[in-house]
Structure 1
């Protein structure tokens, strides 16, 4: 069989037109032989995009103007121990206990109890901050900006009133805060 040139051109045009025509629509699911029903499949359920929760940040530990968490100035030994925030108080006159969250060593995290006034002081540690954000390492300039009433009583140690009943005892050295203690104005256990 001989194909003439005009017929070959028409055939090529027909093949191109068929190839470039509307796209074939695809159906989801399994294929079935012609004349047989297609198997049924469950409709795909859209899923919500997964998002990762933001990293958990530990809340700041705050030594507020009345205490540390549930531990408050003026509490009895029994009340203080019931908070679960302090260990057992010793049996001295002005009794001492340590905050369970505090790091070991020195006077960091010590709680003083007075027979006359109850809890009279809570000593802070690096990482613990006042309600206004002053902590060990804060610059003296920033501390004085936050507590303009801070008054030095001797070399590097001073007090900032925070309520009618309490004050922060803040010490500074080389231009930085080195300790922060909340204490009752009515304390008779140290200094």
Structure 2
């Protein structure tokens, strides 16, 4: 059976018919180069809250950084999806399940896949591998790889972030 594809243009709108996957797929935002969807690195707490995409978890007051979650990717009780610095705004965004960089790297990727996507990745023996974010010289990706060589933690961070080590 032959499947067909049709597009109808009416008053500036596009209606797509054909395979269900084509008609229903929505492009998920990428982690990087400047943030995740509406949440951008460097945003103040007020700006981040105004997106409606984040929820405050802990910290603030005298703390240098506060912990937040992306509403679309909540974390556990003792974790955070993003860290907001009093001095620098949104400083670090951690990847949740299903989130990927524009180069297609997400949780579960292998070190081989990371090196292919980011040939300049720093794989120093101490600390986590990292690489400058393509298209944003003010940020880097940090890769937390487990003993099996799989990515179990991925973060997009400002070069001068002061929230996580």
**For the superposition of Structure 1 and Structure 2, which TM-score range results when normalised by the shorter chain?**
0.7 to 0.9
Instruction: Output the CA distance in 2 between the equivalents of 1:89 and 1:76.
Output: 16
Rate the CA distance shift 1:158–1:107 in 2: closer, same or farther, 3 A.
farther
- Residue 112 of structure 1 contacts residue 121 of structure 1 at CA under 8 Å; is this kept in 2? yes
Q: Quick check: which one's strand share is greater?
A: 2
TM-score by length of 1: 0.67
Counterpart position of 2:88: 117
Structure 1 runs (4+) greater than 3 angstroms displaced: 106-109, 153-156
Matched pairs, number: 143
Rate the CA distance shift 1:103–1:136 in 2: closer, same or farther, 3 A.
same
Q: Deviations over 1:100-144 (max 9, x none)?
A: 000442777611111111110100022100011000111210111
SS in 2 for 1:80: helix
Q: Indicate the structure whose relative CO is greater, using CA pairs within 8 Å and at least 6 residues apart.
A: 2
SS in 1 for 2:114: helix
- Residue 41 of structure 2 contacts residue 90 of structure 2 at CA under 8 Å; is this kept in 1? yes
Instruction: Output the CA distance in 1 between the equivalents of 2:68 and 2:129.
Output: 24
Higher mean alpha-carbon deviation, 73-82 vs 55-64, is at: 55-64
- Max Rg structure: 1
1:179 aligns with 2:153: yes
- Residue 42 of structure 2 contacts residue 91 of structure 2 at CA under 8 Å; is this kept in 1? yes
TM-score by length of 2: 0.77
- Residue 128 of structure 2 contacts residue 143 of structure 2 at CA under 8 Å; is this kept in 1? yes
